[in-house]
Amino acid sequence: MPEHALNGKAVLVTGGAKNLGGAISRDLAAAGASVAVHYHSRSDKGLAEDTVAACVAAGGNAFAIEADLTAVAEIRRVVDSVVDRYGALYATVNTAGLAKGAPMTEVTEEEYDAHFAINSKAAFFVMAETAKRIEDGGRIVNLVSSLLAAYTGRYSVYAGSKAPVEHFTRALSKELTGRRVSVNNLAPGPMDTSFFWDAAAPGEDEFSRAQTPLGRLTKVEDVVPWVRFLLTDGRWLNGQTVFLNGGFATR
């Protein structure tokens, strides 16, 4: 499937206003996609509007939509809005997530529930609601974490809440048999964005760099091309988790 096939294709990017999600939104718009830029709360409205403007300037169509994805009714509203606006839904790229680094003995019940609400529950229902409305031949891509393959502490609740997404992905890819819809995960390593820096302990960036043969953190630009690949020529990859981390972790 050549990249020009993204022209006019409707793509929902959850968490699409900033960091990796923002870069993905802009890249897909530059490839001609019509992008729905989801953002979580009013504090990100300005960033979402900036991303929409950049998408339009790059030659694509785009609009922003605010929603709390921990509520299934809100997920349905978002998906319905994409279909109402663009007439179809070709792909969903789920980048929304929450990360906090802390020993298990310090994780509160509220923090546990919050992580599983966005990283697991929301991911499940974003996939499920997408599957109900996605066009045949479409794509679903989830962003998970290379910590799923790492032997490390401090991220039990983050990595643990991302782990179920692998099972959801395998199940849904089978359930969509006959519709030519591929469902996959991308698992970046520790990434040089505020998502990593807000969760990292002092010195953790040096440790993460030391674990990678290339000696650096994952960059947004290391991941963005893989999303476009999965939405275009990567149709034969299905039910998989691809670790994008320069050798930080493998399995």
Catalytic residue positions? 158
Reported pTM: 0.93
Alpha-carbon distance of 65 to 58, in angstroms, equals: 19
Tell me what the mean pLDDT of segment 174-203 comes to.
Answer: 82
What number of helices (H) and strands (E) belong to the chain?
Answer: 9, 7
Per-residue pLDDT of 66-105, as tens digits, reads 999 999 999 999 999 999 999 999 999 999 999 888 999 9
- Pick the closest to residue 93 from 50, 149, 144 (CA basis): 144
Binned at pLDDT 50, 70 and 90, residue 164 comes out as very high
- The set of residues, in sequence order, having a beta carbon less than 8 Å from that of 117 and lying 6+ positions away, is 70
pLDDT confidence bin for 199, thresholds 50/70/90 = low
Kindly list the distances between the CA atom of residue 117 and the CA atoms of 134, 157, 190, in Å, as whole numbers in the listed order.
Answer: 23, 11, 22
Residue-level pLDDT at 216: 85
Domains of the chain: 3-244 (3.40.50.720)
